[in-house]
């Protein structure tokens, strides 16, 4: 397992509960709880999404995105079909990246 450190204070993040991944422009960063909150306050929500990429709520959103993607795929919406598929796929890719890059290295709970 690889170690995951907070991008801001360099503290080691020991469990998924302490991990908050965040999308900043086109990159994804890992933060501890307190730095995440600080970061949210300091940066415009236009640049940074307010919900962390990991966690239960994010998993729910990922599921909804997946359902949306399947629905768009079969829907009769010729004009917006391709852009919608691209956008929804990007959301899923970001989620997957956050998982592969950070989450899978951490235990669910602190050992
Ligand atoms: Zn930190």
**What is residue 28's predicted lDDT score, i.e. its pLDDT?**
87
Task: Summarize pLDDT for 11-23 with one digit per residue, the tens.
Answer: 999 999 899 998 8
Residue 40 has pLDDT above 60, yes or no: yes
Q: Give the global pTM.
A: 0.74
* Cα–Cα nearest to 61, from 98, 100, 105, 36: 98
CA of 40 to the centre of ligand 1 (A): 13
Pull the structure tokens for residue 80: 């917006």
In the reported structure, the alpha carbon of residue 110 is separated from the centroid of ligand 1 by a whole-number distance in angstroms of: 17
Per-domain residue ranges of the chain = 4-105
Q: How far does the centroid of ligand 1 lie from the alpha carbon of residue 12, in Å? A: 8
């Amino acid at each position: 397992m690889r170690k995951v450190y907070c991008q801001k204070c360099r503290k080691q993040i020991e469990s998924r509960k302490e991990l908050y991944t965040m999308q900043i422009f086109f990159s994804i960063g890992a933060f501890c709880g307190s730095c995440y909150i600080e970061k949210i306050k300091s940066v415009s929500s236009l640049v940074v999404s307010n919900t962390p990429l990991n966690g239960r709520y994010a998993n729910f959103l990922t599921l909804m995105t997946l359902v949306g993607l399947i629905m768009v795929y079969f829907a009769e919406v010729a004009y917006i079909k391709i852009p919608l598929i691209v956008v929804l796929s990007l959301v899923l890719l970001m989620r997957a990246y956050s998982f592969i890059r950070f989450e899978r290295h951490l235990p669910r709970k602190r050992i």
